[in-house]
Amino acid sequence: MAWHDDQARRDELYRDPYPLYDRARRTEGLMYVPEFDAWLVARDQDVREVLLRAEDFSSANALLPDVPLSEAALGVLPRGFGPRPTVVSSDGAAHRRHRAPLNRGLSAARVAALLPYARTCAEGLVDGFAADGSAELVEAYARRLPGMVVGRLIGLDPADVPAAVHGGYRAEELLFRPLSPQGQAAAAEDVVALQHLLDGYVRERRERPRDDMCSTMVAALAPGDGELTLEQRHELVTSLQNLLIAGFLTTSALIGTMLLHLLGDRRQWRTLRADPSLIPAAVEEAVRHDTAIQAFRRTTTRPVTLAGTKLPAAATVLVAYGSANRDERRYERAGEFDITRPGNRQHLAFGYGTHGCPGSQLARDQLRLTLDLFIRRMPELRLDRDRPQPRMRPTLIHRSPQALYVTW
């Protein structure tokens, strides 16, 4: 019973962490939050400081699972690949090694080359429901487009994308949602299936490199052309799985949240429809106001003082980008969603410093093309008032509405 109460409390906090952030920003020093088992870094200035002091605040535990794994799941996972450190969870030289191929594969030119494909996919998805007059946009659109795009970036066959996307969501469930031991074992089976799918690509691209991110990562993380060792395959599969998940779950979540806020206040939608040149500003405001990745962790490498609070070595801090983005010291009316807000591009939704998001341009482009498309194809888009109010998923890492019923 106590466990269920704890879980319910945590879920409510995850669905709406903003009141807690407000209190933490007003508290002198850092606030310790037992539900997070961490010190909450809530102010814009303090978040920036942690992200810039990478030697003092390690990323090794940036993404700790929220739930312990059952024996049943632990029995399944060794049939797959990993876990190994990835770009998000490494520091210093190891981080630079992982980061280099991502910077190359997500360069401005590479992202620009992906856009025609992204537009075609987006148009195709809208063609599928445009004549219906109503839809549930999370399933029909938001959860689909980014998987197709990141699948193309990595070099997946489009026929493999649904399985890859499914595996990504199952990995998230396994690590971040409470499941029964059998439920965890079933999710672990799906994750193992995803890893074997990715391993097939890794080995194939070793043999026959192509112009895609999978080949770029194989060449960078396992230089040479001999057969890959098992250890190299473990590392490559873990890294590709990380890129896949970082690339689509975040963007899918943000498409849903962005549309929710634009349609929740129809004046914003009408303003945008009347002046589509506001699309980039609307995207920035959506990303600032209610971002997908609310927070990641850092661990102190030595005793440090932050915001006047003394922390010992090995202390955990939760770096809340979502709170920094509503810091009243940086933004007027910080809690309001306003697509005409000036100066909203300094937000921290994509992180900052060495671990700052290498996929931010790709994410922004997908958000922009979605708005451009929806304004053209469904200018009368509105929330379906006959359905219950949209409810947020209980997560700090892929914040989004559970469902978004709309009509037009």
How many amino acids of this chain bind ligand HEM (CB under 6 A)?
28
Is residue 216 within the footprint of ligand HEM (CB under 6 A)?
A: no
Q: Output the six-digit token pair for 73.
A: 């799941």
Among 73, 88, 272, 311, binds ligand HEM (CB under 6 A): 88
Is residue 371 within the footprint of ligand HEM (CB under 6 A)?
A: no
- Options 158-166, 229-237, 289-297, 302-310: segment touching ligand HEM (CB under 6 A): 289-297
Is residue 114 within the footprint of ligand HEM (CB under 6 A)?
A: no
- Options 21-29, 34-42, 194-202, 248-256: segment touching ligand HEM (CB under 6 A): 248-256
- Options 21-29, 37-45, 134-142, 290-298: segment touching ligand HEM (CB under 6 A): 290-298
Is residue 59 within the footprint of ligand HEM (CB under 6 A)?
A: yes
3-class DSSP assignment, residue 327: coil
State the minimum distance, in angstroms, from the CB of residue 142 to ligand HEM.
11
- Options 127-135, 306-314, 351-359, 382-390: segment touching ligand HEM (CB under 6 A): 351-359
- Options 10-18, 260-268, 301-309, 345-353: segment touching ligand HEM (CB under 6 A): 345-353
Is residue 254 within the footprint of ligand HEM (CB under 6 A)?
A: yes
In which residue are the tokens 């451009």 written?
372
Cβ atoms 181, 71 nearer than 8 A = yes
Measuring CA to CA, which residue among 51, 9, 56, 16 is closest to residue 34?
Answer: 9
CA 297 to each of CA 9, 42, 62, 66, 82: distance values in angstroms, whole numbers, following the listed order: 21, 12, 4, 12, 21
Is residue 294 within the footprint of ligand HEM (CB under 6 A)?
A: no
Is residue 357 within the footprint of ligand HEM (CB under 6 A)?
A: yes
Cβ atoms 317, 300 nearer than 8 A = yes
- Options 5-13, 76-84, 337-345, 358-366: segment touching ligand HEM (CB under 6 A): 358-366
Q: Which residue is nearest to ligand HEM (CB)?
A: 359
State the minimum distance, in angstroms, from the CB of residue 389 to ligand HEM.
23
Q: Which ranges in 331-406 belong to alpha helices (H)?
A: 360-377
Is residue 359 within the footprint of ligand HEM (CB under 6 A)?
A: yes
Is residue 321 within the footprint of ligand HEM (CB under 6 A)?
A: yes
Contact residues toward ligand HEM (CB under 6 A) are 59, 62, 87-88, 99, 102, 150, 153, 243, 246-247, 250-251, 254, 291-293, 296, 321, 349-351, 355, 357-359, 362-363
